[in-house]
Structure 1
Amino acid sequence: MIQAQTFSRTNDTLRGAAAAWGSLISMNSGAGLSKLLFPVIGAYGITALRVAIAAAILCAVVRPWQRRVPRELLPVLLGYGAVLGVMNISFYQAIARIPIGIAIGIEVLGPLAVAVMGSRTRRDFLFLGVAAAGLVLLLPIHSDSPIDPVGVLFALGAAVCWALYILCGKHVSAALGQDAVALGLVIGAAIALPVGFASAGTLLFTPWILAAGLGIALLSSAIPYTLEMAAMRRLPAHVFSLLLSASPAIGAVIGFVLLGERLTAVQALAILLIMLAAGGSAVSAAKRRPLPPEEAGIPTP
């Protein structure tokens, strides 16, 4: 009986880990495929398609219009959706200029900063220092092949937006649940679509572009979201967060396989330092209290 229970727990853990890794592979593959389409409709066009189609898919599933949003939550919800839209724009502008693994490595500094802000322990500040060291190594002064500083700034902007997304999301998710993400994506799409249309024009409505946008939205949002839910049911929060801290490394692999993006030794070391900081912070936070999904480092919807 005990052996059967142990086997069941082990099996659940393995399934949860597989779901978490599947989520990361799907999300990063979506980013890689998006980058392949940049020469056709640009980063702004891809952002508009991804956010708008993801909003349509999630709204069709969740049907947020069936429930009323309290009036007092409207300002926070609008801020949440605006941050979501700007975060996606910033991320895609970053990967248009710098390798995917580096962009994600910088972006995860946002959740890390939020975790450290809620802590007063020396260990967490040490993790922040390790992450800062990784960021310094990524600055365009430490390599014979420096990365685009504008891309770094966009990635930092995405990190700031991710931190704000967490802080705003804590307010709206408790009251609205899944409706918060669906409505937030609608607001984000309202920001991204005009920018994308101004950049790509009617190309956005070409049938094959729409089909590609659907595939990217599924890979970047719908599939990862489903797998994350499965992983969170089976894994402790700190284990889930630790697995997700590997996202920059997976992004680097996807970038190499799909796009031929190569990292220098210094850039790889920088990503490793940021991953260690993110994973260590997740474990440290789990020892203090269980993390809600927003603070566990879940990738953006």
Structure 2
Amino acid sequence: MALVISAGISVQFGAALAVMIMPRAGAAGVVTLRLAAAALVLLLLCRPKVRGYSRSDWGTVLAFGVAMAGMNGLFYQSIDRIPLGPAVTLEVLGPLALSVIVSRRLVNVLWAGLALGGVVLLSGHGGGGLGFGSLDPLGAAFALGAGAMWAAYIVFSARTGRRFPQADGLALAMAVAAVISLPLGIAEAGSALLVPSTLALGVGVAVLSSVLPYTLELLALRRMPAPTFAILMSLEPAIAAAAGFLVLNQAMSALDALAIALVIAASMGAVRSQIRKKAA
């Protein structure tokens, strides 16, 4: 449990650090730095083989890389516009929707309704007339898009894991994601990506948001059942809200906290009902 929670803290505080360097390199620039640095580290550590795989195998790892690039790119565009806690709360709806679709159980429709209630609370206060209250509508849309890509990431991550040994598929997919993000990062940040201090901070984001959490999660999954791991991952919105408050001074209202709590409860409930279905 400590490993999973530590991984979540690393990811969300890495995201908070990314917000701090966005004025230097922009959202796309930070994504490029993160994915490129993470890909370099993983390729050096894993040294994946590139021969002996079928066209279908490469199609799977390519789709995994596209999902990874989309998930990161959309999420960083989101946190450039809205606070970290609400962004992760909206993003986690993607995996929640995937869980509801896969399980096909009525009780999970109820959990989805609870999550929707949380989103209504999150979006309904503060006026603004655009349906997302005090939240920037485009930022909220980016967060929802990141959630859809997160769901795709989960699907293709599992498929890649079955086709490639150890973390080879992850390293190759990370390289694909880095290549996809590179033109966008260069277009937005240009030479700012080569400033030593920005490069160093980008490496810090990569370590906190990719290398360290992936390692911690791998160690955790060797010690606990996957369903328990999934339930603990549902705490991400709360950790994100804490990181936003502590690092970025992003305060939350009571309604914000209640909305995030409802989405966390819905995620945990959906995962637990799926566990019961498999056990039966």
TM-score, with structure 1 as normaliser? 0.87
Could you tell me how far apart the structure 2 residues matched to 1:240 and 1:26 are? 16
1:182: which partner in 2?
171
- Offset from partner CA, 1:158-211 (integer Å, 9 cap, x none): 011111112223322211142221111111111111101110101101122111
Could you tell me how far apart the structure 2 residues matched to 1:146 and 1:272 are? 19
1:155: which partner in 2?
143
Alignment partner of 1:119 is 2:107: no
Shift of 1:112: 1.1
| 1:232-271 to 2 correspondences below 5 Å | 232-271=221-260
| Partners of 1:143 and 1:266 within 8 A in 2 | no
| 1:41-56 to 2 correspondences below 5 Å | 41-56=25-40
Q: 1:223 aligns with which of 189, 212, 225?
A: 212
| Partners of 1:81 and 1:187 within 8 A in 2 | yes
Alignment partner of 1:164 is 2:164: no
2:130: which partner in 1?
none
1:7: which partner in 2?
none
Shift of 1:65: 3.1
SS in 1 for 2:272: helix
Could you tell me how far apart the structure 2 residues matched to 1:45 and 1:281 are? 35
Q: What value does the CA root-mean-square deviation take over the aligned residues?
A: 1.5
Could you tell me how far apart the structure 2 residues matched to 1:95 and 1:198 are? 20
SS in 2 for 1:68: coil
Could you tell me how far apart the structure 2 residues matched to 1:228 and 1:288 are? 24
Could you tell me how far apart the structure 2 residues matched to 1:111 and 1:67 are? 33
| 1:101-140 to 2 correspondences below 5 Å | 101-139=85-123
Q: Which runs of 5+ in 2 are unaligned?
A: 128-132
Shift of 1:239: 2.1
Could you tell me how far apart the structure 2 residues matched to 1:153 and 1:254 are? 21
Shift of 1:66: 5.1
Q: Percent identity?
A: 41
One-letter amino acid of the counterpart of residue 270, structure 2: S
| 1:11-26 to 2 correspondences below 5 Å | 17-26=1-10
Shift of 1:67: 4.6
- Offset from partner CA, 1:17-44 (integer Å, 9 cap, x none): 1111111111111000110001111111
Shift of 1:119: 1.2
Task: Number of aligned residue pairs: give it.
Answer: 273
TM-score, with structure 2 as normaliser? 0.93
